Amino acid sequence: MTATLTELPDVALLLARGPQAVDLLQAQFTQELRDWPDGSARMAAMCTPQGRVLSDFLLWREGDGTIAMLLQRELQQPIAKRLRMFILRLRCTVEEPAAPRRVRGLLEPAGSPALLPELAAGPWQVLARPGLTCLRLPDAAGLRRTLLVESADSAAPLPAALAGCPAGRVQDWLLAGVRSGIAHVGSATSERFVPQMLNYDLLGLVDFKKGCYPGQEVVARTQYRGQVKRRLFRVLGAVPMAAGDEIYASADASQPCGMVVNAAPAEDGGWEALAELRLQAQGELRLRGADGEPLRLGTLPYALPAEA
């Protein structure tokens, strides 16, 4: 495979601006944002008071101190509205970009020379260039993943190394995302899961030492009282899957044992998905019903705790 550059129309940005923007997000997100190394991106989640994930975010700081938040486009406006509810007297704003920013995904074979060698050291690095922010993501199944976010008002060309990259397919980018083991919440799955159900505690999206945020008590109790009964797994099947599809176990077909969070078609004609599943589910997994298509478990690029 050669490197490809893929348009990503299903993601969008929110911008938190002002001297107290960090205070706003620190009080609402699961991530620690005050102690944040320069030149790095972070992921975070925003929860309901019941500890259910409303959205996940990729966060980075821009040159003027603005905090950029990448999330699923379908959640952009409702999340912006919710964040604004908590501004009160804080000196900050939460805005959609004045003009949409172009977001593309770079996939490169892991064994090839990096097209952006400045990001070769590993994930969560940020490379800021005039009119362009490059964000290294965790690898997936032999592929390096990098996000490229252009400024709306910039005519700056791509780095020369990227200028000749052929256009990639969105399904290939989504499949790499599934294989990375990092789930993203959309409208079909918002408010369905506590962070541990999506393995966010294992992936560093939750800081258990930071101050209060909505849902913190539920998230902490789930973590420290051994109440993690559901986890995120990678599942494989022969038919299309979509976010929100329910999964059943043959040993208890009366109720679903899990739900698809993200899914994408695979190279062999099948489908792969990240799915939240009850740890004690017994028997064969089936899609959308007890008599649905069978599913099998795949591997993740990180280890699950012994409870799973």
| Residues pairing with 94 in the sheet | 16
What's the CATH fold of domain 229-301? Elongation Factor Tu (Ef-tu); domain 3 (2.40.30)
pTM of the model: 0.95
**Per-domain boundaries in the chain:** 4-155+166-180, 229-301
Residue 17 CA to residue 65 CA, distance in Å, equals 7
> Residues near 8 by Cβ (< 8 Å), separated by ≥ 6?
103, 104, 105, 147, 170, 173
pLDDT reported for residue 283 = 85
Identify the band that residue 250 occupies on the pLDDT scale cut at 50, 70 and 90. confident
For the cut 80, the answer to whether the pLDDT of residue 1 exceeds it is no
Domain 4-155+166-180, CATH: 3.30.1360.120
pLDDT reported for residue 154 = 60
Among the ranges given (38-42, 193-197, 282-286), the one the predictor scored with the smallest mean pLDDT: 282-286
Q: What number is the average pLDDT over the span 48-77?
A: 96
Among the ranges given (10-14, 66-70, 208-212), the one the predictor scored with the smallest mean pLDDT: 208-212
Q: What number is the average pLDDT over the span 137-159?
A: 85
Identify the band that residue 30 occupies on the pLDDT scale cut at 50, 70 and 90. very high
Q: Do domains 4-155+166-180 and 229-301 have the same CATH topology?
A: no
User: Is the pLDDT higher at 150 or at 261?
Assistant: 261
pLDDT reported for residue 155 = 61
pLDDT reported for residue 259 = 98
> Residues near 93 by Cβ (< 8 Å), separated by ≥ 6?
16, 17, 18, 21, 87
